[in-house]
Structure formats: structure tokens, C-alpha cells
Structure 1
Amino acid sequence: MVSLARTIRSIRRVGIKEWWHQMQYIGDAKSGRLVGTDQFGNRYFENLNPEEEIPGRHRWVDFAQHDYNATQVPPEWHSWISHIRKDPPTEDRVVQNLSPPWKTPWNENLTGTRGAFRTYNTTKPKYEAWQPKTAARA
């Protein structure tokens, strides 16, 4: 439950504009340390104060796009948000050193959009659809 004191404290920390943005998108007013951003422009935050955040919900992402989904989070950031990794990718030397130079940039899942992959066939079909033949009446 959000108290009036917590709401006022959050408005003071993040400002009216950011507070309103958070209320519209995540439904809660949060304030924390900006940990980093990814190639999509998503911002990742963390608040380690146990009095302000529920344990397990102290890491969150602020999506750059209004029409967001979970596939817009790259794997290295997903592992940090899900508490698989302790350190964020910006501070974790293992993640930074293991990224191979041939690795392609992460693309979101485009299923349901115009950019979705669709298979196609270049061979002639084995059968043709039946077309009824109609004769003109006399």
C-alpha cells in the first residue's frame, strides 16, 4: 500500500514529471540508483533500501518505448533483473569480457508485427485449387 508520506518522498526525489511517468507506466512511484542503459534506450534502476522496496522488487526497468514487452530486454540485463547475476552488466567484468566480437546486436521478438518472419515457398504447388465451371443459361 502506498502511503502519502512515501508518495511525497518519491515526488521530492524524482520530480513531478518522472513521478507521473512512473505512475502511468508501472503504477508505482519508485526512486533508486540508475545502474545503466541498453541499446534500446531502456533504463535500469536499483534501490537497496529495505525500508522502501519489497525484497525481490528492488530492481526494475523503465522501457524507452510506450508499446513495451519483455523481449526488449537483452539477455545480460534480464539475468540481472531476475537476480541470476549479482552485478549489472555495466559493472560485471565477466559479462564484458565474454561478449565475443562477432556477437550480433540483440533484436526484440517481432512476432505479431510487420517485421515478423514469414516463411515462403518458391516451388510450384503439387495441386491446384478446384474452380467450378459454370455454363451460361440459355
Structure 2
Amino acid sequence: MKNLLLQIFTWWSGQTIGTRFHTWRHGERVGQDEFGNVYYQGGKDSEGRTRRWVIYNGYAEASAIPPGWHGWMHHRTDVPPSKENYVARDWQKQHRANLTGTPQAYRPPGSLAVPGERPRVTGDYDAWTPGN
């Protein structure tokens, strides 16, 4: 019952009823990434290209799509990573989701989220003050 209510009233925690129906009617499963996201294609979009979509494992967060699948989703390549031997290069970093808005987000010294004082400005910059 909980899953049914989530599918009816939310879009951020998995697929909705409409997405489930569209996937059932038109979707062809293409593959799955290491995070459990499942990728589909089928039908045509407004530009005549094959429509592609993802069913997220958990919350719908676009930065949770790894680079290989991102290229396929945005029609940069026609071959999905599941149908080729995609291996990341040595110089490529491991994929990380966008951490903005989470406790792990980067907070530089002096930001409002970090206690303390902003470091002094160095160099030849002097802040403007009225009357000077």
C-alpha cells in the first residue's frame, strides 16, 4: 500500500504510475548501472530521436547517473555501456553524486555554514569603505 501511495503522489522516490505504465507499454530495458538505476528506451521524442529514460534506485537525482550512462542518455553515443566493454581510463576519477545540500557538501573557510572567521584578504586588494 505504501508503494502504491508513493507512486501516485511522489515523483522523487522512484517511478510514478504514469512512468510505470509508459515503461510497460513502450519501454525496452537497455541495462543497469552499478548504483541499481535501470535504463530504458522506446518510442520517439519531439525531435524524432529514440526516447531514453532512467528509473532511479532511490531518490531521483540526476547526478546519480555515471558518466558512461550520461553520454548515452543525452544521445552522445548510440551504444549503451551495457552493450560495450566500457572501462574508465586511468586518469578518470570515480563517479560521485552531487553533494550540494547535504552534510558532506564543500564549505570553504569563511562561509556562513562554517563557524569562525573568514581568512584575511591577501595581496593588493583593499575593501572599499564609504567615506574613503
Corresponding position of 1:118 = 107
Q: Please list the CA deviations of residues 20-69 of structure 1 after superposition, one character each: whole Å capped at 9, or x if unmatched.
A: 7643474862232221111221110122xxxx544335211001113x22
Cα distance change of structure 1 residues 69 and 86 upon mapping to structure 2, 3 Å threshold? same
Corresponding position of 2:39 = 44
Paired-residue identity, % = 30
Provide the TM-score with structure 1 as the length reference: 0.56
How far residue 110 of structure 1 moved from its aligned partner, in angstroms, is 0.5
Q: Distance in 2 between matches of 1:101 and 1:116?
A: 26
Cα distance change of structure 1 residues 119 and 56 upon mapping to structure 2, 3 Å threshold? same
How far residue 101 of structure 1 moved from its aligned partner, in angstroms, is 4.6
Displacement over 6 Å in runs of 4+: 121-124
AA of the residue aligned to 1:23? T
Cα distance change of structure 1 residues 103 and 36 upon mapping to structure 2, 3 Å threshold? same
Query: Which secondary structure state, in structure 2, belongs to the residue aligned with residue 60 of structure 1?
Result: strand
AA of the residue aligned to 1:62? I
AA of the residue aligned to 2:40? F
Corresponding position of 2:83 = 91
Query: Which secondary structure state, in structure 1, belongs to the residue aligned with residue 22 of structure 2?
Result: coil
Q: How many residues are paired up? A: 101
Which has the higher Rg, Structure 1 or Structure 2? 1
Q: Distance in 1 between matches of 2:66 and 2:97?
A: 8
Corresponding position of 2:29 = 34
Corresponding position of 2:11 = none
Cα distance change of structure 1 residues 44 and 123 upon mapping to structure 2, 3 Å threshold? same
Assess if the C-alpha contact under 8 Å between 2:109 and 2:118 holds in 1: no
The Cα RMSD (Å) is 3.4
